[in-house]
Structure 1
Amino acid sequence: MASEGSGHSAGAFDIRTVIALLFAIYGVVLVVLGFIQPQAEIDKAAGLNINLWAGVGMVVFAAVFIAWARLRPITVPDDVEGGSTAE
């Protein structure tokens, strides 16, 4: 949620960006494996290239997360007044 005062975007430290990056990496790996796997492996899965489709789904999921992080960025306040410290 955006705050009322001034602040800056969380950017790369936004958890949605980290999750999207992980899903994108694993998704691309699965897409590549989906293209190079032998037909015998596809036949084991009732003719469905599950690696390819799971990879495409993960890449789409990552794109949605990146779009969400860009369209609704988390705003971190620049200064904290009266911040509590552990004593």
Structure 2
Amino acid sequence: MKIGDKLKGVITGIKPYGAFVSLENGTTGLIHISEIKTGYIDNIYNTLKVDQDVLVQVVDFDEFTQKASLSLRTLEEEKIKFLIATVSQIVD
């Protein structure tokens, strides 16, 4: 696993500071609350659910502990950039 990888996973636990994810490659990681989406999250429990399937991007990986820091936000921003580029091509 390396930074930038996109992996499927399942949320296994939620705490006020983030969500724990079991990844398809057998490792685990944490989506810190600041990496869930752009903007303020008032209540993480209304945003994510245990057993929810997610597609995440690796933003950091500790080879010693085999734990990953994950992001949903970076993929959200990637989708927005793609949509803007697509719309601007259609308009041109």
Does TM, normalized by the shorter one, top 0.5? Answer: no
| Greater helix content | 1
TM-score of the aligned structures, taking structure 2 as reference length: 0.30
Larger radius of gyration: 1
TM-score of the aligned structures, taking structure 1 as reference length: 0.31
Q: Select the structure with the greater relative contact order (CA < 8 A; seq sep ≥ 6).
A: 1
